[in-house]
Protein backbone atom coordinates (compact mmCIF):
# COMPACT_ATOMS: atom_id res chain seq x y z
CA UNK A 1 0.00 0.00 0.00
CA UNK A 2 1.33 3.43 -0.99
CA UNK A 3 2.38 5.81 1.77
CA UNK A 4 0.64 9.12 2.49
CA UNK A 5 1.64 11.84 4.94
CA UNK A 6 -1.15 13.94 6.47
CA UNK A 7 0.57 16.79 8.32
CA UNK A 8 -1.10 19.40 10.48
CA UNK A 9 0.87 22.56 11.21
CA UNK A 10 0.07 24.59 14.32
CA UNK A 11 -0.82 28.28 14.30
CA UNK A 12 2.25 29.48 16.21
CA UNK A 13 4.55 28.27 13.42
CA UNK A 14 2.47 30.05 10.78
CA UNK A 15 2.90 33.32 12.72
CA UNK A 16 6.71 33.20 12.59
CA UNK A 17 8.22 33.62 9.12
CA UNK A 18 11.57 31.94 9.87
CA UNK A 19 9.97 28.88 11.47
CA UNK A 20 7.41 28.60 8.67
CA UNK A 21 10.19 28.78 6.05
CA UNK A 22 12.13 26.04 7.85
CA UNK A 23 9.07 23.81 8.04
CA UNK A 24 8.09 24.35 4.40
CA UNK A 25 11.62 23.50 3.23
CA UNK A 26 11.29 20.16 5.04
CA UNK A 27 7.77 19.62 3.70
CA UNK A 28 8.79 20.43 0.11
CA UNK A 29 11.66 17.94 0.23
CA UNK A 30 9.43 15.16 1.58
CA UNK A 31 9.07 12.46 -1.07
CA UNK A 32 5.73 10.93 -1.95
CA UNK A 33 2.09 11.90 -1.48
CA UNK A 34 1.33 14.54 1.13
CA UNK A 35 -1.44 16.72 2.52
CA UNK A 36 -0.80 19.78 4.69
CA UNK A 37 -3.63 20.95 6.96
CA UNK A 38 -3.19 24.38 8.56
CA UNK A 39 -4.96 26.82 10.81
CA UNK A 40 -3.91 30.42 11.34
CA UNK A 41 -5.46 31.33 14.68
CA UNK A 42 -3.34 34.26 15.85
CA UNK A 43 -3.65 36.19 12.59
CA UNK A 44 -7.44 35.74 12.59
CA UNK A 45 -7.64 36.97 16.19
CA UNK A 46 -5.40 39.96 15.42
CA UNK A 47 -7.47 40.96 12.39
CA UNK A 48 -10.73 40.54 14.32
CA UNK A 49 -9.41 42.84 17.04
CA UNK A 50 -8.36 45.45 14.46
CA UNK A 51 -11.83 45.32 12.92
CA UNK A 52 -13.50 45.63 16.32
CA UNK A 53 -14.81 42.07 16.65
CA UNK A 54 -13.49 40.68 19.98
CA UNK A 55 -13.03 36.93 19.89
CA UNK A 56 -14.48 34.43 22.34
CA UNK A 57 -12.84 31.07 22.97
CA UNK A 58 -14.21 28.22 25.09
CA UNK A 59 -11.82 25.36 25.84
CA UNK A 60 -9.52 26.58 23.09
CA UNK A 61 -12.38 26.47 20.53
CA UNK A 62 -13.34 29.69 18.76
CA UNK A 63 -16.98 30.77 18.99
CA UNK A 64 -17.74 31.60 15.37
CA UNK A 65 -20.46 34.20 14.78
CA UNK A 66 -21.19 35.48 11.26
CA UNK A 67 -18.55 38.24 11.43
CA UNK A 68 -15.91 35.87 12.77
CA UNK A 69 -16.75 33.36 10.03
CA UNK A 70 -16.02 36.01 7.40
CA UNK A 71 -12.67 36.79 9.05
CA UNK A 72 -11.48 33.19 9.48
CA UNK A 73 -12.50 32.38 5.91
CA UNK A 74 -10.50 35.36 4.60
CA UNK A 75 -7.49 34.48 6.75
CA UNK A 76 -7.46 30.66 6.61
CA UNK A 77 -8.78 29.95 3.11
CA UNK A 78 -7.37 33.18 1.68
CA UNK A 79 -4.11 34.74 2.85
CA UNK A 80 -2.57 31.90 4.89
CA UNK A 81 -3.51 29.18 2.42
CA UNK A 82 -2.21 30.99 -0.67
CA UNK A 83 0.89 32.27 1.12
CA UNK A 84 1.86 28.67 1.95
CA UNK A 85 1.16 27.53 -1.62
CA UNK A 86 3.29 30.33 -3.09
CA UNK A 87 6.18 29.50 -0.76
CA UNK A 88 5.96 25.80 -1.70
CA UNK A 89 5.95 26.62 -5.42
CA UNK A 90 9.15 28.62 -4.86
CA UNK A 91 10.68 25.47 -3.37
CA UNK A 92 9.78 23.30 -6.36
CA UNK A 93 6.84 21.63 -4.63
CA UNK A 94 3.80 21.81 -6.91
CA UNK A 95 0.82 22.33 -4.64
CA UNK A 96 -2.80 23.37 -4.64
CA UNK A 97 -4.56 25.32 -1.91
CA UNK A 98 -8.16 24.40 -1.14
CA UNK A 99 -10.75 24.59 1.61
CA UNK A 100 -13.23 21.92 2.56
CA UNK A 101 -15.83 23.56 0.32
CA UNK A 102 -13.68 23.14 -2.81
CA UNK A 103 -14.42 19.96 -4.74
CA UNK A 104 -16.84 19.09 -1.93
CA UNK A 105 -13.72 17.97 -0.05
CA UNK A 106 -15.23 18.16 3.45
CA UNK A 107 -18.94 18.22 4.15
CA UNK A 108 -19.97 19.03 7.71
CA UNK A 109 -22.92 20.00 9.89
CA UNK A 110 -23.28 22.88 12.31
CA UNK A 111 -22.28 21.72 15.77
CA UNK A 112 -25.15 21.13 18.17
CA UNK A 113 -24.31 21.37 21.87
CA UNK A 114 -26.72 21.20 24.80
CA UNK A 115 -25.09 24.11 26.67
CA UNK A 116 -22.86 26.10 24.30
CA UNK A 117 -23.74 27.77 21.01
CA UNK A 118 -20.50 27.53 19.04
CA UNK A 119 -22.00 29.48 16.14
CA UNK A 120 -20.86 28.51 12.66
CA UNK A 121 -18.57 25.70 13.81
CA UNK A 122 -18.70 22.48 11.81
CA UNK A 123 -18.29 18.80 12.66
CA UNK A 124 -17.29 16.68 9.67
CA UNK A 125 -19.73 14.17 8.14
CA UNK A 126 -17.94 13.20 4.96
CA UNK A 127 -14.50 13.32 3.31
CA UNK A 128 -14.43 13.25 -0.50
CA UNK A 129 -11.60 10.73 -0.81
CA UNK A 130 -11.91 10.34 -4.61
CA UNK A 131 -11.42 14.10 -5.10
CA UNK A 132 -8.36 14.18 -2.82
CA UNK A 133 -6.92 11.03 -4.40
CA UNK A 134 -7.37 12.57 -7.85
CA UNK A 135 -5.17 15.50 -6.85
CA UNK A 136 -2.60 13.29 -5.13
CA UNK A 137 -2.40 11.04 -8.21
CA UNK A 138 -1.28 14.09 -10.19
CA UNK A 139 1.69 14.42 -7.79
CA UNK A 140 0.23 17.62 -6.37
CA UNK A 141 0.67 18.39 -2.67
CA UNK A 142 -2.62 19.48 -1.10
CA UNK A 143 -2.67 22.49 1.25
CA UNK A 144 -6.00 22.47 3.05
CA UNK A 145 -7.65 25.24 5.08
CA UNK A 146 -10.11 24.07 7.76
CA UNK A 147 -13.18 25.80 6.34
CA UNK A 148 -15.90 23.26 5.55
CA UNK A 149 -19.48 23.51 4.23
CA UNK A 150 -22.85 21.95 4.97
CA UNK A 151 -24.03 21.18 1.43
CA UNK A 152 -26.67 23.92 1.67
CA UNK A 153 -24.49 26.94 1.00
CA UNK A 154 -23.27 27.55 4.55
CA UNK A 155 -19.54 27.75 5.30
CA UNK A 156 -18.38 26.38 8.67
CA UNK A 157 -15.22 26.83 10.74
CA UNK A 158 -13.78 23.44 11.72
CA UNK A 159 -10.92 22.58 14.08
CA UNK A 160 -7.75 21.89 12.05
CA UNK A 161 -6.60 18.99 14.28
CA UNK A 162 -9.95 17.31 13.67
CA UNK A 163 -9.77 17.98 9.92
CA UNK A 164 -6.34 16.29 9.75
CA UNK A 165 -7.60 13.33 11.76
CA UNK A 166 -10.75 12.85 9.64
CA UNK A 167 -8.78 13.05 6.38
CA UNK A 168 -6.19 10.58 7.69
CA UNK A 169 -8.90 8.13 8.77
CA UNK A 170 -10.81 8.36 5.50
CA UNK A 171 -7.73 7.89 3.30
CA UNK A 172 -6.34 5.01 5.39
CA UNK A 173 -8.47 2.65 3.29
CA UNK A 174 -6.42 3.65 0.24
CA UNK A 175 -3.00 4.53 1.66
CA UNK A 176 -0.69 3.63 4.52
CA UNK A 177 -1.23 6.90 6.39
CA UNK A 178 1.12 8.62 8.79
CA UNK A 179 -0.57 11.48 10.64
CA UNK A 180 1.79 14.15 11.96
CA UNK A 181 0.83 16.96 14.35
CA UNK A 182 3.63 19.51 14.05
CA UNK A 183 3.82 22.58 16.26
CA UNK A 184 6.28 24.57 18.41
CA UNK A 185 6.97 21.91 21.08
CA UNK A 186 9.45 19.03 20.81
CA UNK A 187 6.72 16.45 21.40
CA UNK A 188 4.64 15.23 24.33
CA UNK A 189 6.57 16.44 27.38
CA UNK A 190 6.72 15.03 30.90
CA UNK A 191 7.54 18.56 32.03
CA UNK A 192 5.86 21.23 29.92
CA UNK A 193 8.72 23.65 30.72
CA UNK A 194 11.49 21.21 29.74
CA UNK A 195 11.91 20.59 26.00
CA UNK A 196 14.28 17.71 26.81
CA UNK A 197 11.58 15.72 28.63
CA UNK A 198 10.05 14.27 25.45
CA UNK A 199 8.22 10.96 25.80
CA UNK A 200 9.48 9.09 22.73
CA UNK A 201 6.66 6.57 22.41
CA UNK A 202 3.17 6.24 23.85
CA UNK A 203 0.89 3.21 23.52
CA UNK A 204 -2.57 2.66 25.05
CA UNK A 205 -1.27 1.19 28.31
CA UNK A 206 1.40 3.87 28.88
CA UNK A 207 -1.15 6.57 27.97
CA UNK A 208 -3.55 5.23 30.60
CA UNK A 209 -0.78 5.30 33.19
CA UNK A 210 0.32 8.83 32.26
CA UNK A 211 -3.27 10.07 32.50
CA UNK A 212 -3.79 8.38 35.85
CA UNK A 213 -0.63 10.01 37.21
CA UNK A 214 -1.65 13.34 35.62
CA UNK A 215 1.83 13.43 34.11
CA UNK A 216 0.77 15.05 30.82
CA UNK A 217 -0.10 18.71 30.36
CA UNK A 218 -3.90 18.91 30.12
CA UNK A 219 -3.76 20.85 26.85
CA UNK A 220 -2.07 17.89 25.15
CA UNK A 221 -4.77 15.36 26.10
CA UNK A 222 -7.16 16.22 23.22
CA UNK A 223 -4.33 15.70 20.69
CA UNK A 224 -3.55 12.30 22.22
CA UNK A 225 -7.20 11.29 22.31
CA UNK A 226 -7.40 12.28 18.63
CA UNK A 227 -4.27 10.24 17.93
CA UNK A 228 -5.70 7.03 19.37
CA UNK A 229 -9.02 7.60 17.59
CA UNK A 230 -7.06 7.82 14.32
CA UNK A 231 -5.07 4.66 15.10
CA UNK A 232 -8.26 2.80 15.95
CA UNK A 233 -9.63 3.77 12.54
CA UNK A 234 -6.86 2.54 10.28
CA UNK A 235 -4.13 5.18 10.51
CA UNK A 236 -0.73 3.46 10.66
CA UNK A 237 1.14 5.87 12.94
CA UNK A 238 0.67 9.25 14.64
CA UNK A 239 3.64 11.52 15.37
CA UNK A 240 3.69 14.71 17.45
CA UNK A 241 6.61 17.14 17.50
CA UNK A 242 8.45 20.26 16.42
CA UNK A 243 7.54 21.51 12.94
CA UNK A 244 11.11 22.39 11.93
CA UNK A 245 12.19 18.78 12.62
CA UNK A 246 9.73 17.19 10.19
CA UNK A 247 12.17 14.71 8.64
CA UNK A 248 13.43 13.64 12.07
CA UNK A 249 9.82 13.12 13.19
CA UNK A 250 9.27 10.83 10.22
CA UNK A 251 12.56 9.02 10.86
CA UNK A 252 11.60 8.47 14.49
CA UNK A 253 14.63 10.33 15.84
CA UNK A 254 12.58 13.24 17.27
CA UNK A 255 9.16 13.89 18.70
CA UNK A 256 6.64 11.46 20.19
CA UNK A 257 5.31 8.49 18.24
CA UNK A 258 1.86 7.20 19.16
CA UNK A 259 1.31 3.51 18.41
CA UNK A 260 -1.61 1.19 19.00
CA UNK A 261 0.34 -1.76 20.36
Residue 261: band (very low, low, confident or very high) from pLDDT cuts 50, 70, 90: confident
Residue 38: band (very low, low, confident or very high) from pLDDT cuts 50, 70, 90: very high
Q: What is the DSSP letter of 148?
A: E
Domains of the chain, by residue range, sit at 3-183
By DSSP bridging, strand 33-38 and strand 141-145 are parallel
Per-residue pLDDT for 62 more than 90? Answer: no
Q: What contacts 24+ positions apart, CB below 8 Å, involve 185-192?
A: 185/241, 185/242, 186/241, 186/242, 186/245, 186/254, 186/255, 187/240, 187/241, 187/242, 187/254, 187/255, 187/256, 188/216, 188/220, 188/224, 188/240, 188/256, 189/217, 189/220, 190/215, 190/216, 192/217
Residue 54: band (very low, low, confident or very high) from pLDDT cuts 50, 70, 90: confident
With 0.85 as the threshold, say if the pTM is over it: yes
Q: What is the mean pLDDT of residues 217-243?
A: 90
What CATH number does the domain located at 3-183 have? 3.40.1160.10
Alpha helices in 36-144 (DSSP H): 41-50, 66-72, 81-90, 129-136
pLDDT number for residue 189: 92
Which is more confidently placed, 111 or 61? Answer: 111
Amino acid sequence: MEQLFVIKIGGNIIDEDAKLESFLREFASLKGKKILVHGGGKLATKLADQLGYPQKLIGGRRITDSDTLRIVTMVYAGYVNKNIVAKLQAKGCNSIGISGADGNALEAHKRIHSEIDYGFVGDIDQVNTSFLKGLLDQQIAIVLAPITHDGNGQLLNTNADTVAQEIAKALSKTYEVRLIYSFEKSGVLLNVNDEQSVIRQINPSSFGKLKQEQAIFAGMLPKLENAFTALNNGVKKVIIGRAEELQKLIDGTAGTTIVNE
